[in-house]
Amino acid sequence: MKTWLTLLFILAVPTAATAASFTATEQCPHSQKLKELSSTSSLPTLTIGTTYEALTYNTTKEEFIWIKVPGLGSRWTYARCGSAEGEIGHNNTVKKTEHTPGEFDYYKLAISYSPEFCISKDDYKQDQCSRDWIVHGLWPQYYDSTEKGYPLECATLPDAFDEIDTAMVWQYMPSDFLIGHEWKRHGTCSGLKRSEYFALTEKLWQTLTLPRLQHRQYSAKELKGHIIAPNKQLNSEMIEIACDENRSFRKASNDTLDEIRICFDRSGEPMACTEHEQSCSTERIMVRTIAGG
């Protein structure tokens, strides 16, 4: 009798749903951004025979699949490069997560390398072209973007859109368009008033001394070393390097330095980034400078 009761109990307990999986059959690249998969940049690749957690396909055509790579978070890769098992949804049918102002884990301070922006765009008249570095934005982040993505365009809190000292903000972000765009896309998720958000951006920017780089190739390790040298509070895990952000511009080039990102905790102290973009070659990153600059 006891044996039958035990068996009935086991049969009555629902089994946990098995996570969908993707097993790599080809050594294909993977990236946080779909558009990077078609670039010639050096990207990390799948390990043949390794099984990854499968999260979603990009569309019902199932050309690309979003997988979870240990240590790197969620990444896109080609669906043809492996075999999938289990029930996998489609990104265009998944309900987007609503993000709440002030509910995030840390910040990334994105800093654009101006010479590359101006060279790629073939436009040297913009205000930032006279500077080596400007702030692109201050981005609230989650420790793990797999489930929620990134905090973007939150519902604005009452009275959050207050006055700012535009002349002061222009000292590190010389573009009215960029100021408005970064507040709408990222600042609204900070839980701060607009003036507080840009004051914090300036405060973090002022803690950094950024190097003058030469026109040549660097390795990622070498570049980070040049950033750390005048900023002893940083280490390599706190720095993210991004390449090929300007590839849509007519004079863009592959594996060129476009920006760096420094991670800070919510109190403004530098911290290790929990996820690193892998858009640059580790050994060959081209830094271009403006002639006569």
Point out the catalytic residue in the list 182, 240, 259, 277: 182
pLDDT at 139: 98
Same domain, 268 and 126: yes
Q: How many CB atoms lie within 10 A of CB 259?
A: 23
Point out the catalytic residue in the list 116, 186, 245, 275: 186
pLDDT at 9: 42
CATH code where residue 38 lies: 2.30.30
pLDDT at 252: 72
How, if at all, do strands 73-78 and 30-31 pair? antiparallel
Q: Look at the alpha carbons of 101, 58, 85, 32 in this order and tell me if their dihedral is positive or negative.
A: negative
Same domain, 143 and 32: no
DSSP state of 98: P
DSSP state of 93: G
| Average pLDDT value over all residues in the chain | 86
Rg (C-alpha) for the chain, rounded Å, is: 22
Percent of the chain clearing pLDDT 70 (strictly above): 86
Which residues have CB under 8 Å from 231's CB, separation 6+? 207, 208, 209
Residue 98 belongs to a domain:
no
Same domain, 52 and 110: no
186 catalytic? Reply is yes
List the one residue out of 124, 84, 61, 125 whose CA is nearest residue 251.
Answer: 124
Residue 35 belongs to a domain:
yes
Give the angle subtended at the CA of 120 by the CAs of 246 and 29, to the nearest 5°. 40
Same domain, 58 and 162: no
Same domain, 79 and 186: no
CB half-sphere exposure, 36, CA atoms < 13 A: 24
98 catalytic? Reply is no
Number of H helices, E strands in the chain: 7, 13
pLDDT at 14: 43
CB half-sphere exposure, 241, CA atoms < 13 A: 24
Cα gap 119→249, rounded to integer Å: 9
Residue 193 belongs to a domain:
yes
- 243, 261 Cβ separation under 8 angstroms: no
> What pTM value is reported for the model?
0.69
Q: Look at the alpha carbons of 113, 114, 115, 118 in this order and tell me if their dihedral is positive or negative.
A: positive
Distance set, CA 57 to CA 21, 61, 99, 263 (Å): 12, 8, 22, 30
Cα gap 177→190, rounded to integer Å: 19
Same domain, 81 and 171: no
Q: b/e per residue, 96-127, with b = 16+ CB within 10 A?
A: eeebebeebebbbbbbbbbbbbbbbbeeeeee
Same domain, 112 and 53: no
How, if at all, do strands 89-90 and 21-24 pair? unpaired
Residue 143 belongs to a domain:
yes
Same domain, 85 and 110: no
Which residues have CB under 8 Å from 91's CB, separation 6+? 56, 57, 58, 59, 66
List the one residue out of 64, 66, 81 whose CA is nearest residue 32.
Answer: 66
**Residues of the chain below pLDDT 70:** 1-18, 35, 39-41, 71, 91-97, 147, 246-250, 292-293
Same domain, 173 and 245: yes
Last-in-domain residue among 40, 60, 90: 90
pLDDT at 123: 87
pLDDT at 94: 40
List the one residue out of 141, 121, 255, 130 whose CA is nearest residue 190.
Answer: 141
Question: Domain range spanning residue 215?
Answer: 106-287
Number of domains making up the chain: 2
pLDDT at 96: 47
87 catalytic? Reply is no
Same domain, 153 and 218: yes
Point out the catalytic residue in the list 99, 136, 240, 277: 136
Counted residue by residue, the chain has a size of 293
Same domain, 189 and 141: yes
